[in-house]
Every structure is written in structure tokens, then in C-alpha cells.
Amino acid sequence: MPGGSRSTDFDRSVLRHLRGLGRRLRLYLVIDGIMWLCVVLLGAVLLTLLMDRTFHLGRDMRVVQLASLSAVLILIVSRLVIHPMRVPIPLTSLALLLERWHPQLQSRLITAVEFTEPASPPRTGVERSSAMIQAVIRQAEEAAAQLSYHRGLAHTRARRNLSLGLGCLVVLASLCLAARPTMAMWFQRNVLLRDVEWPQRNRLTVQGLTQGVLRVPRGEDATITATVDQGFEPPMQVFIRYESASGQVGREQMPASRVGVPADGPADTLQADTPELPNVQFLHTFERLAETLRCQVHGGDAQTDWFTIEVVDRPQVVDVTLNVTPPAYTRMEAYDLRAGQTVAEVLKGSIVQVRIRTNRPVREAMLMRDTGAGESVEVRPAQRAAADAFIAVERPMESAVYHFRLVDGDGLSNESERVRPVQISVRLVADRSPRVKLQIKGVGEMVTPAARLPIDTDFSDDYGLAAVSLVYGAAEQAGSFPPQSIPGFEPGPRRFQADLIWSPTEHGFKESDRVVLHAEARDADDITGPHVGQSPSVTLRLVSREEVLVELSRREQEYRQDFERLVRTEEELLNEWLGTVSVGDRRDRDAAKAQVWLQMARRQRDYGARANALRGQFEQVLSEWRINQLATPEVEERLGRRIVAPMELLHREKMPVAADRLETMARTWTEDSQQAARLALQAVLTEMKTILASMLKWEGFQEAVTLLRDVQKMQRQVSEETDKRIERAVSGEPAQSQPARPSPEK
């Protein structure tokens, strides 16, 4: 190449730095690979340690585990460590990388490198003249003199990855030093694949085994008892794994109890922190065993050897399991009935799956339906699930009794006069309609349009509600009301309660309308339904404010008259009692008057019940005042504090006390008992007269208010008629005769 001295200078000042950049880049790639190798190595050690320490893996599992992790580590070393060391990095690629970091080079460096590299192909359309080459090399050398060749490398990432890799190695080394016995055990089991055992906190022994076998009669219950060895802690939970001869595999929890304590004893008998803990045993009972089982008990870090429960064959169906799939509309999952249960009550449309296990392999199993009188018909062959297990699926449309006809390889059947097959009874039950309740508390038959009615609704269904609604409308259109959905309801719940405030005015009703309300609910039964449940209807008559006030005043007056009669009966009772204690001598009173006083005590209790009934009537009136938006502080004071509350006190305390005093006097007559009875009776009468005085006082005021309302009403009517006559006079319509209106009573 021409200009050899220039090329030598370029090699010393530029190419040498490019080769250093290549070595630094390769080093960083190797550091990345070593970091991943250290991380995966630490993770593999921790993962295998955790898995083996927790589950006590067998040798075959540890072999597979070691082979898998070794393959992963070899792949990482090959792809991330060895491969970057062997991949060549051309100087032209490094120059191109440097050009990207320093755009001011304007391709001079890559051109100069190509000119100095004999193996690099010439660029298309470029003629290599000696002068041009020297000029390009000189320009590239001058431009690269001030460059930082390593500026674009990820130095921070390299340092971080190197620290992370070294940190993993430090953690692994610290783990080996801090837990040397555990790591030594791990190395022997997971690297050297030796069968050494981990140290145990728990150890269990199965009782009653003879050379690993427990023999029980077929059809009898077999109870497996596992005790905690002396010096070991009892596990928190113990399970028994079992495999049957037919291939059935299961796992069950074994309840715990102390030796001499029933298995169903109190749970606090098994506290592990009790001093001098007695021996603990775990029990599990296999009911009606029909085939040999291979079992293993495990709990905590304890695991027994496999043992066998050997049974004797009996020619019958030994196990029946019913699985019921309810209709889709119930949104219920399929469920298994209790093991051995042969009677099922299901909804119409349910699918019943019957799984049976026989005592030995049979040739066929046919599902039969009993027709009565000892006869049966074939339904369908059962599907074989195993050599001694069958499954039959039936969707009964009526209640029926089923059984399986079994035939073995010798032609023997389980149907005979002496042996009755296991009966499976399926009873269809009807899906009841939803139950609906609607209650409007404290409301009478008459309400104002502005009333706010507190409506309590309660909907329930056995399998879920599809829709709930409030139905209302005018009474003359009964039967054609569109249901109105209740806010907040989502289909599906089995019970839904809602408290509503319903106003006739807000729903377009006005005075003189008769409104009928009831609640409805619909279920999702798409087989025999849907079923609709409806509450009893409530009829309300919408009247004016004045009519409600007149009605409430009338009822108050009526209830006041009833209470006044009750006051008179109480006075008669007091006078009668005074007459009995003012005649005759003491002996006569003790002997003859006791029954009279007991009868008076019963009358006093009866008066208390009547007073409570009247209290409820006044409380109803007060509630209607409130609901119809008519209540004022004066009404609350009059009815609430001066009538309802005192009558409540009268019923709950004073009248029962008076009756008790009369009974005490009848049992044991003394001057003190007579005085106590007199005071109690007088207190009752005084309270009743006080309440009656409040009623009479406010009743006169109410009559005046009612008269004033009538006058105001007549004035409004006169004003309305006057406006209408003026309108007719202006429009030229003939005047209509108007009936004479009565004057208000004075």
C-alpha cells in the first residue's frame, strides 16, 4: 500500500485504540453472561433447597431436577459467556460504531479503516489513488486524535452487572458458611444424589400394622390411627393419601385428638405449647370398605411408608355417590350428596349422576326404574368408569326409585328374592313461588296526595329472584298496572329488602283517586315457571287536606269517647273496691272478699289491655298526621307527649302495679296492703283523668280550627266561581245557575 509510514502512524494512533475498544466491548458482554450465570446459579441452589426441604423429593425427582438445571446452566455458559468470546469483531464495525457516537467524523474514520484493511472490499465508485488515501487517512487521524473511544460503552451497566454477579457469589458463599450442615445435606442430596434424610421435627407411626398390612372385613369401617412418636412435635395438620385397587386416588384430613380424648373433643385440647405434651394421635375412618387400599400418612415433615388395608370381597354394590346438577336458572353448582346417601330431593329438570362401585369387577351394570308391584324396567346401561365403577346419568321427569342390576363374569346377578339391591330414590320437589311482603306502617285508608308513604318490602325465593317490582295504579284499572322496577335490585339474590318512600303526587295521582299498590317478584324458573309472587294489595283513597283533618279529628273524638268510658269503668272499679273494704269485719274480709279482690285485679289488667289498645289507636292517628305532612309541633305536643306517652306509662307501669297491689291484698290482707292498693288505684284514676282533660282541652280547640278551615274552603270556592263568571262574561257565554251554598255552622 502506498504511504506505508502514514499507515503505520494510523495503526499506532487509531487502529490500536479501535482494537482496545473491541476488547472492552467483548469484556462487557462476558461480564453480562457471568452475571446471569451467577444469578441463575444462586436461584437454582435456593429453589432446589426449598423444594427438597419442603417436599422431601425422591431420588428420581432430584435426578430430573439436577438434569434440568444443569442444562439451563450449560446453555447460559455457551450462549452468554463462550459465544461472545469467540465472535470476531471487525475493525470496520468498531469504526462504524465510533462514527455513530461521533457524527462529526463524517465517515472519514470508516473510509480510512477500509483503506488500511487489505481484506475490506472497496466501496462502489471509489477509485483508490495514493494521494486520496493519504489525504483521507490524515484527515481521519486528525479527527480521531481528540476522540474518547470508550465514551459510548455502558460502563455503569457493566459495573452493576459485575457487582450483581459478585454479590450472588458472596451470598452463596455466606449461605454455605452460615448454614454449613444444611448446605452439606443439600449438596449430598441434590448434587451427589445420595439418599440421606433431612432432620425431622415430626414423626408419625401407624398403629395396628402387621408387616405393613391392616386386615379388615369387607363392608366394615376401618379406622387408621397415626400417633406422634415420643420426643417429636405433633404436626398442625395430618393427611392420609390412599389409592384403591380400582385406581381411585384420594386425600383426606385426619382429625387430631390426644390419647384418651375423643376425636370430637374440644379443639383447645391440642394446643402445642402445653407443658409436658401427652401423646397425640390422628384418626381417619374409612366407612364400609369394599376394596383394598394402599395408604400413606403425611403431615408437617413426617411421612410414613406406604401400607395396605386389605379387605374381603362381598358380592354387592358397596358405594353409591349421587351428584346433582340443578337446573341452570338456579345458578347452583353441581354438588355431591353425602357418601352413602341414596335419597335425593331435587328440582324438576335436574340431572342426577349416580356413581357406584362394586365389590368386584362385573360384566355389565344396567340402571333400572321400579314401576311398583315388584317390577322394574330398563332405563339405560351404565357407563364403565373403572373395572368396578360405573356411572349413570338420568334426568327424571317424575319421582321414581332406581337400582342397578349387576351381572358378573359368571352370570350372577344381584337381583334375587333374598337379596334386595341398593335402592336409589329420587323425589322431585316443586319450586315455590317467591314470597313477597309489603307493609305501609302508620297509614290509614285516606291519605293526601302530598303524603309520603313509608313502604317496607321483603322479597325472597329459594333459588334467586329474577325481578322485583312495585305495582300501583288507579283502582278502576285494577289488573292492568305495569310493574315498576325497584331501584338497587340486581337479578340473582335469594332475598332482597327495600324501604321506599312513595308519594302519590310524584306519580301523577290527585285528589279523589283510589290507588291500589302491591309488590311482585318473579323467579327465573324456565322449566315449570316463571313463578310470580304477589303481596296482598293495599288500597288508598286520595282526599284533600281538609278531609284528612276532619277524619283524624273524628277518630280522635271517637277514641276520646272510648277512653272516657274506660275512665268511668275505672271509677266504678275504685268505688266498688272502696265498698268492699268499708263493710264487714276483718275476718269477713279475709274469708269472703279475697275472691272479689282477685276478680278486681283481673279486671284491672283487662283495663290495662284496653288502655294499650287505645294508645295504639292514638299512635296510629299521630303517624297519619306525620305521613300526610300535616304534623306540627303543636300536634306532636298534644298527641305525642300529652296522650300517647302518658297512656304508654299507664299501660306498662301504673295499671299493672294496681293489679299487683289488689292481688297482694287478696293473698295477705294488712293495713299496709290496703293502703298500697288504694294509692295505686287512685294514681291510675288520676293519671287517666289528666289524659282525658288534655283530650277535652285540645278537642275544643280542634273544633274551632276545623270550622275555620271550612270557612276558608268556602271562600276559595266563592273566589273560583267569581273568576269563572268574569271569564264567561268577557267571552259572552251565558251564565249558569249555581246552587245555593250552605252557610257554615256556628
Query: What confidence score (pLDDT) does residue 495 get?
Result: 92
Three-state SS annotation for 523-554: ECCCCCCCCEEECCCEEEEECCHHHHHHHHHH
Helix (H) or strand (E) holding 473: strand 465-474
Note whether residue 489 is domain-resident.
Answer: yes
* Alpha helices per DSSP H over 155-252: 155-178, 180-190
For residues 238 and 415, the model is more confident at: 238
Query: What confidence score (pLDDT) does residue 742 get?
Result: 44
Q: Are residues 221 and 294 in the same domain?
A: yes
pTM of full prediction above 0.75: no
CB atoms within 10 A of CB 209: 15
Helix (H) or strand (E) holding 706: helix 671-731
Half-sphere CA count of 607, side-chain side, radius 13 A:
30
Taking only the tens place, the pLDDT of each residue in 574-602 is 888 888 876 544 544 555 678 888 898 89
Query: What confidence score (pLDDT) does residue 351 get?
Result: 92
Domain boundary among the residues 429, 459, 493 is at 429
Distance (Å, whole) CA 81 – CA 85? 7
Taking only the tens place, the pLDDT of each residue in 338-361 is 888 889 999 888 999 999 998 878
Q: Are residues 377 and 449 in the same domain?
A: no
pLDDT at 434 over 90: yes
Q: Are residues 424 and 498 in the same domain?
A: no
Q: Are residues 115 and 66 in the same domain?
A: yes
Note whether residue 382 is domain-resident.
Answer: yes
Note whether residue 738 is domain-resident.
Answer: no
Question: Three-class SS of residue 394?
Answer: strand
Question: Three-class SS of residue 333?
Answer: coil
Query: What confidence score (pLDDT) does residue 21 get?
Result: 63
CB of 459 within 8 A of CB of 496? yes
Q: Which amino acid is at 135?
A: A
What's the rounded mean pLDDT across residues 272-281?
Answer: 53
Q: Are residues 80 and 137 in the same domain?
A: yes
Q: What is the DSSP letter of 268?
A: G
Taking only the tens place, the pLDDT of each residue in 120-149 is 444 444 445 566 656 656 655 555 556 655
Q: Per 3-state DSSP, what percentage of the chain is helix, strand, and coil (rounded to 5)?
A: 45, 20, 30
For residues 147 and 645, the model is more confident at: 645
Taking only the tens place, the pLDDT of each residue in 278-292 is 478 999 999 888 888
pLDDT at 606 over 90: yes
List the helix and strand counts (H, then E) for the chain: 16, 29
What's the rounded mean pLDDT across residues 4-21?
Answer: 57
For residues 176 and 105, the model is more confident at: 176
Query: What confidence score (pLDDT) does residue 202 get?
Result: 81
Instruction: Kindly state the percentage of the chain with pLDDT values over 70.
Output: 75
Note whether residue 728 is domain-resident.
Answer: no
Indicate which CATH number applies to the domain containing 357.
2.60.40.10
Q: Are residues 166 and 45 in the same domain?
A: yes
Bridge-based pairing of strands 435-440 and 446-447 is unpaired
Q: Are residues 32 and 173 in the same domain?
A: yes
For residues 584 and 104, the model is more confident at: 104
By the 10 Å C-beta count (0-12 exposed, 13-18 middle, 19+ buried), 612 is classed as: middle
Indicate which CATH number applies to the domain containing 662.
1.20.1420
pLDDT at 34 over 60: yes
Range with lowest mean pLDDT among 51-60, 264-273, 360-369: 264-273
Query: What confidence score (pLDDT) does residue 613 get?
Result: 92
**How many domains, the chain?**
5
Three-state SS annotation for 550-604: HHHHHHHHHHHHHHHHHHHHHHHHHHHHHHHHCCCCHHHHHHHCHHHHHHHHHHH
Quote the domain boundaries for residue 446: 435-543
Query: What confidence score (pLDDT) does residue 138 get?
Result: 61
The x, y and z cell numbers of residue 25, run together, are: 466491548
For residues 103 and 369, the model is more confident at: 369
Q: Name, in order, each residue with C-beta under 8 angstroms of 92's C-beta and a sequence gap of 6 or more.
A: 110, 113, 114, 117, 120
Q: Are residues 254 and 398 in the same domain?
A: no
Indicate which CATH number applies to the domain containing 263.
2.60.40
Asked if the bond preceding 454 is cis, omega within 30° of 0, the reply is: no
DSSP per-residue string spanning 350-383: -EEEEEEEESS--SEEEEEEEEETTEEEEEEEPE
pLDDT at 610 over 70: yes
Query: What confidence score (pLDDT) does residue 162 get?
Result: 80
Note whether residue 741 is domain-resident.
Answer: no
pLDDT at 373 over 50: yes
pLDDT at 741 over 80: no
pLDDT at 40 over 80: yes
For residues 486 and 26, the model is more confident at: 486
Query: What confidence score (pLDDT) does residue 714 get?
Result: 65
Q: Are residues 581 and 703 in the same domain?
A: yes
Range with lowest mean pLDDT among 11-15, 134-138, 617-621, 739-743: 739-743
Q: Are residues 23 and 161 in the same domain?
A: yes
- 196 in the Ramachandran plot: left (φ > 0), alpha (ψ -120 to 50) or beta? beta
Distance (Å, whole) CA 528 – CA 51? 55
pLDDT at 238 over 80: yes
Question: Three-class SS of residue 221?
Answer: coil
The x, y and z cell numbers of residue 120, run together, are: 475490506
Note whether residue 15 is domain-resident.
Answer: yes
Q: What is the DSSP letter of 502?
A: E
Domain boundary among the residues 496, 515, 543 is at 543
Q: Are residues 400 and 492 in the same domain?
A: no
- Residue 405's nearest CA partner among 394, 393, 392 is 392
pLDDT at 440 over 90: no
Note whether residue 729 is domain-resident.
Answer: no
The β-bridge partners of 343 are 425
pLDDT at 240 over 90: yes
The β-bridge partners of 368 are 378, 403
pLDDT at 1 over 60: no
Indicate which CATH number applies to the domain containing 518.
2.60.40.2060
The x, y and z cell numbers of residue 95, run together, are: 469504526
Domain boundary among the residues 429, 450, 474 is at 429
Note whether residue 186 is domain-resident.
Answer: no
Q: Are residues 305 and 340 in the same domain?
A: no
pLDDT at 523 over 60: yes
Query: What confidence score (pLDDT) does residue 196 get?
Result: 75
What's the rounded mean pLDDT across residues 489-511?
Answer: 88
pLDDT at 45 over 70: yes
- Please name the residue that has the C-alpha cell 448434587: 191
Distance (Å, whole) CA 691 – CA 438? 35
Query: What confidence score (pLDDT) does residue 707 get?
Result: 56
Taking only the tens place, the pLDDT of each residue in 155-191 is 777 778 788 878 888 888 888 888 888 788 788 888 8
pLDDT at 268 over 60: no
Helix (H) or strand (E) holding 495: strand 495-502
